Structure 1
Amino acid sequence: MNLRQLLNQVYQHSGIDHKRDIKRLTPHMPTLAAGLHPNGDDTAALPHPYGHTLLAIEGFIEEFVEHDPWFAGWCGVMVNISDIAAMGGRPSAIVNAIWDKGGSKAELLMQGMCDAANTYGVSLVGGHTNLRANSTQLAVAILGHAHHLLSSFSARPGQVLVAAIDLRGEYRAPFLNWNAATSAPPARLRGDIALLPEIAELKLATAAKDISQAGLLGTAVMLLECSGVGAEIDLNAIPRPNAAPWADWLCSFPSFGYLLTTDRAQLPALLEKFQARDIAAAEIGRIIREPILNVRDGEAYESFWNLSTSSLTGLGPSPTQLPTTPLEKRPCPL
């Protein structure tokens, strides 16, 4: 499979389609009050005298919840904590909403959430239960706090793009969930998550985003869209497990995976923070002014997404606010 074929396959990934669906609702979002952080980041960020209060919620795909309810419950806690960390924050408390028919899967969902909450040291403080529903569904919300924000709106042309991913895991079949968490020591997981607020407070990065169901490239597009910039990524610089083919890895949802942007002067210190905890971290590209995501694989060079012609979530600058200079390479297939 050549680079163009690979990017076309990733472009059709269902995780990206879920993010694309956001664009249907974006026009109906109310205008935010002055001083509030814009929509489009991993969490809402509400001004606080000592930083920001962070608020987020995650809903889960029914097929995943039905197939693996314990792990879905675990992920309900884990991905919310990851969203708080991506904003440079620390988690405070979690609530949930569980719907089930009969309650047997609800018990597994709850056990998974409790196990993850205990592992990460976060309190599960309440929620809503309906055991007379027609299907099993899960949503989990979280509250946190950040002294200094990392944000998808803070990437700047000329910065370095970094990927930090915990490769000490394996796929949890049948989905492309790279699980490096459920068998890891709790102290290690807590220390790893604590890296992100430490990085924020030391100002070693400006922008960050948790690698989500959209995969690494889809997550990169969301970050770039918020900042109104583009990027060039070197495929072979991306940290990757030896056994994972690119077509799977670029669509994977790692239990610990982040994209960050930083100035080159801060790059060595940023990489050292992750490498000191045995987390794979590398410079994978650079931020450019043109709103397009290009990918290089050796001598091959192709475009994955052209934000000047097609938004993903609709939560970044409008096309009229983006640069009008000629874009690099060809646009992605639309």
Structure 2
Amino acid sequence: MNDINLDQIIKSVRNYIGLVRKHPIKAVVEKLSTTCQYGNSLPNFGDDAAVIPFKDEYLLFATDGMMTGLIINEPYAAGKASVMVTVNDIYSMGGRPIGMVNVLASGDEKQRALIVDGIKKGCQKLQVPMLGGHLHPDPELVTPSLSVAILGVAKKVLRSHLAKQGDDLILAVDLNGSPGCHSVVSWDANSGKTSEELLERLDILPLIAEKELSCAAKDISNAGILGTISIFLENSGKGGCIDIDAIPRPSAIKLNDWLHCFQSFGFILAVSPENSKKVIELFSNQDIDANIIGKVTKNDQVVLEQNKVSKILFDFKTDEITGIRYKG
């Protein structure tokens, strides 16, 4: 039984801070994209990592910063999350991590120790080394910050802007978890699992890329499930139709909270229908719930369906989330 109707879902998603905070991205990208002429990176339309051709493979280079509230309220969790989110960025693009560096600013010794303990735990759990970084331990620091950069490598790449008309939208999530941090709405599906279990399920993404079962995927970010899918479609220059009732979710959380949830393991993929069964089987073999929740469409609208009722979530002719749209 759903606890929220389509009108409420649309209002909630459009005003969700995790999505709204994506709006300034366009101005930054437009100003800095011209610098790409100085290197050999490929054009980036909302990718979770920069793609750099290297020999017969690709280097993936990503960075992420932790929200200030999480660092202040849950420093240990922030440390763990800083590793998890960057590692997920690499896997979401079909790569495997090589190593990370960080920039940590905290003048509180106790807080700093908890953050570092969390980073250490994340590295141990996901088997990725923290190779170096930069520390600001100044006591006068009022606002702490933590950012992590990661380097990975891929044989074939999953991009965030290559969803094609007619593709199935497959959402893969791990329902075997529990509500996570208190500072943000989140779902922790990592705790209680071994490193081997975590890496085996993450490795599904590179396998999908290498088997050429898909060429487009994205990590479910703090924009939530519907927010991330909408960004995915916006970046691809496409629209989509999403069946709310087809979205897999645990019974322990209300639908509205689940739609906003930051996922420790959650990915959206655009897959040609002839490959959908194979992709779903790869996930289900690792006890991951994967389901076709909709279709990529040619128009500029993200349409939600629930109980045979359809309503528009975003119309990209008038709406912008990141404002970054691929027109290839």
Q: Structure 2 length as normaliser, TM-score? A: 0.94
Please, which runs of 5 or more residues in structure 2 have no aligned partner?
none
Give the alignment partner of residue 38 of structure 1, picking from 23, 36, 43: 43
> Is residue 274 from structure 1 mapped to residue 283 from structure 2 by the alignment?
yes
Contact 1:26 1:314 in 2 (8 A): no
CA distance in 2, matches of 1:37, 1:62: 31
Give the alignment partner of residue 9 of structure 2, picking from 6, 11, 14: 6
> Is residue 190 from structure 1 mapped to residue 218 from structure 2 by the alignment?
no
Which letter maps to 2:207? E
Q: CA deviation at 1:30?
A: 3.1
CA distance in 2, matches of 1:112, 1:173: 13
CA distance in 2, matches of 1:23, 1:96: 25
Please, which runs of 5 or more residues in structure 1 have no aligned partner?
323-334
CA offsets 1:58-91 (integer angstroms, 9 cap, x no match) = 0111001111111111110111010001110000
CA offsets 1:242-264 (integer angstroms, 9 cap, x no match) = 12112111111010000001111
Tell me the matched-pair count: 319
Contact 1:88 1:197 in 2 (8 A): yes
- Aligned Cα root-mean-square deviation (Å): 1.4
Q: CA deviation at 1:7?
A: 1.3
CA distance in 2, matches of 1:237, 1:187: 29
> Is residue 287 from structure 1 mapped to residue 296 from structure 2 by the alignment?
yes
Q: CA deviation at 1:102?
A: 2.6
Counterparts in 2 of 1:252-271, with a 5 A limit?
252-271=261-280
CA offsets 1:167-208 (integer angstroms, 9 cap, x no match) = 111112422110111321111001111111011101111200
Give the alignment partner of residue 77 of structure 1, picking from 83, 93, 96: 83
1:240 alignment counterpart: 249
2:239 alignment counterpart: 230
Give the alignment partner of residue 158 of structure 1, picking from 166, 178, 187: 166
Moved more, 9-18 or 23-32: 23-32
Counterparts in 2 of 1:40-55, with a 5 A limit?
40-55=46-61
> Is residue 312 from structure 1 mapped to residue 292 from structure 2 by the alignment?
no
Q: Structure 1 length as normaliser, TM-score? A: 0.92
Which letter maps to 1:99? A
Which letter maps to 2:149? A
Moved segments of 4+, more than 3 Å: none
CA distance in 2, matches of 1:105, 1:35: 40
Contact 2:190 2:264 in 1 (8 A): yes
Q: CA deviation at 1:226?
A: 1.6
2:142 alignment counterpart: 134
**Secondary structure at the residue paired with 1:312?**
coil
Matched-pair identity in %: 34
1:21 alignment counterpart: 24
CA distance in 1, matches of 2:261, 2:33: 32
Counterparts in 2 of 1:51-130, with a 5 A limit?
51-130=57-136
Which letter maps to 2:272? D
Contact 2:77 2:181 in 1 (8 A): no
